[in-house]
Amino acid sequence: MRVFIAIELPQAIKDSLNSIQEKLKTSGADVKWVRPQNIHLTLKFLGEISEEQLAKIKTTLDNTAKDKKKFSIRISSLGAFPKINSPRVIWVGIDKGDREIQELAKALEERIEKIGIPKEDRSFSSHITIGRIRSNQARDKLVATLKSLENHFKETPQELVVQRISLFKSTLTPQGPIYEVLKEVNLTTA
């Protein structure tokens, strides 16, 4: 099965990010938008795993959550990888809470490597993907729209408290991925 570990977002944040998607859609660009119900903050993509690995991953999640306290994050920016003028992935970024997300992702990465799942080649970046560009269609209009919305979250910041992390199963379908929560673990409160 194909799995990943992520921070789920409350419906109010998903709705806010969906409104940004709707504004960006007016550009007419060829973008595969993340369905609002699927928007999340990925901590670790694990790919295809076995049932045996699944049990070890669940234990790793439990152990990691015991070591990490709940924390607040704030969505603060809108951008694109590799850069805003040549977007391939459209994302929203985090300022407050970024250090805690980085530490959580690093702890998961190190512990999961010990059960035989390799570390990522690239360094972790705290972000929430909201769309992936499929072609150059209306790219200039998309870039202009992105730039016009760059300060949206500075004007209307979105905050949430991260209280748990989740292990998701991802089933790919022609209509897009279907996510199913396999395990949730609560971060500590003290």
**Residues with catalytic annotation?**
40, 127
Distance set, CA 57 to CA 93, 137, 175 (Å):
27, 41, 28
Cα–Cα distance, 77 to 146 (Å, whole number): 11
How long a stretch of residues is the chain? 190
Q: How far apart are CA 57 and CA 88, in angstroms?
A: 31
CA angle 184, 188, 190 (to 5 degrees): 165
CB 169 within 8 A of CB 183: no
From residue 142, give the alpha-carbon distance in Å to each of 76, 88, 148, 151. 20, 11, 10, 16
